[in-house]
Amino acid sequence: MEQDFLPINGTDHIEFWVGNAKQSAMFYMAALGFELIAYAGPETGQRDRASYVLQQNKLRFILTSSLQPDTEIANHVYKHGDGVKVLALWVDDAEKSFKETTSRGAEAAMPPERLKDEHGEVVVSAIKTYGETIHKFVERKNYKGAFMPGYVAKKSSYPVKPIGLKYVDHCVGNVELGQMNKWVQFYEDVMGFKLLITFDDKDISTKYTALMSKVVSNGNGYVKFPINEPAAGVKKSQIEEYLDFYKGAGVQHIAIATDDIVQTVSEMRDRGIEFLYVPETYYEDLFERVGEIEEDLQPLKNMNILVDRDEEGYLLQIFTKPVQDRPTLFFEIIQRKGAKSFGKGNFKALFEAIEREQELRGNL
Ligand code: FE2
C-alpha cells in the first residue's frame, strides 16, 4: 500500500468569519448546544479581532469578527457575508503537511508557525483551497491548554444544554461552473485524497435545476469533501444562487453527525432552528424505498427527517434552511446506520424543497 503523504486525524476546527461574533456565539450556544471554551480579543492582546471558540463533543467552531473596518476579516464579511473561512485539519506534523502540499502545487496561506504559551506548543500552517477558503493544518500533540496559544480559556455563564452533535461528517464546497474537476484534482494531487463518488445531473436534477457533485476523501476516510458545481437547468440552480450571494466559491454545508437524530432535531426545532420540509408523500412509499428501519415512522415524519439506504446500511438526514440572511451556508444533521453514502435517494425530494425556498426569495 502506498504511503499517505498527508495523514489527517480528523477535522480540528471550523472557523467562521462573521459580522458579529459575540451574537453569533449566542446562537451556537443557545440553539445548537455549543459550550464556550476559549476566547481571543482585545483583553488577550488581540487588537484587530475577537474570536469565540465553541465546542460540543469533537466539534469545534470558531466565530471571529473584525474590530476595524479595513481588515482582511472585515473585507471578507463585506463581500461574502457570514461564512466559513477555515476548514482546519488535525495533523501530527503541520510543517510536513505544509511542505508535502505546497511542493505538490498548493498555494501557501500561512507558512508553518510555532505558537507557544505556558500550556505547551501548537504548530499551524495553511494552504488555500476554493474561493477564499483555506485549510489550516493544526499540530497539537504538545499542547494541554483550552484551544491554542493566543486564546484564553473562557466559560460562559449561559447554561448550555448540548443536543448530541458529535463530529463533522462531511463539508461541502460549491464551486463555479466548470471548476469541479479542477478542485477534485487539487484534492487528489495536492492532498492525496481519493475520488469516492460521482453524481451527475441525471442523479441530481429536478424539473428546474441540476447540479453535479464529486466526493473526495482522505486516506483513513475521516475527512470527506463533496464538491458541487451547477449544471444547466431550466431555471437558476441552487448552486448558482449560492455563488451569486456568496460572490464566489465557498462552503455550502457542514454535515454534523449525531447518534440520535430524532432527539437532536427535536431539540433544534424547539430552539427555533428552521429545516427544509418535504411533502407528506415522501413518507408514503418510504419503506418500499429503504426497507426496514429501526426508527418509528411517525417522529421521522413529524420532524421531516429523510431516510436513504445503500449497500452497507441506511442513513437518516435533514437539512436546515440557511443560517444567515444570504442564502448561503446551511447545516445537515446526519445519523449513519451503516450507510457510507450521502443520501442520493433524497436528492430529488430535497432539491424540490430548496427550489420552493428559492422561489420565495425570488431567485428561481
Ligand atoms: Fe451533505
Residues with CB in 5 Å of ion ligand 1: 255, 332
Residue 107 Cα, ligand 1 centroid: separation in angstroms? 27
Which DSSP letter does residue 342 get?
-
Residue pair 33/58 in contact by the 8 Å Cβ criterion = no
Delineate the domains of the chain, giving CATH numbers in brackets: 10-153 (3.10.180.10), 165-361 (3.10.180.10)
Residue 336 Cα, ligand 1 centroid: separation in angstroms? 12
Residue pair 87/41 in contact by the 8 Å Cβ criterion = no
Residue pair 57/160 in contact by the 8 Å Cβ criterion = no
The per-residue pLDDT string of the chain (364 residues; one tens digit each, 9 = 90 and over) reads 568 999 999 999 999 999 999 999 999 999 999 999 999 999 999 999 999 999 999 999 999 999 999 999 999 999 999 999 999 999 999 999 999 999 999 999 999 999 999 999 999 999 999 999 999 999 999 999 999 999 999 999 999 999 999 999 999 999 999 999 999 999 999 999 999 989 877 776 777 777 889 999 999 999 999 999 998 776 788 899 999 999 999 999 999 999 999 999 999 999 999 999 888 888 888 898 899 999 999 999 999 999 999 999 999 999 999 999 999 999 999 999 999 988 888 887 777 888 888 889 998 8
Residue 256 Cα, ligand 1 centroid: separation in angstroms? 9
* Residue 296 CB neighbour total at 10 angstroms: 10
Retrieve residue 146's grid coordinates: 483550552
Residue pair 201/213 in contact by the 8 Å Cβ criterion = no
For residues 244 and 167, give the distance between their C-alpha atoms in angstroms, rounded to a whole number: 30
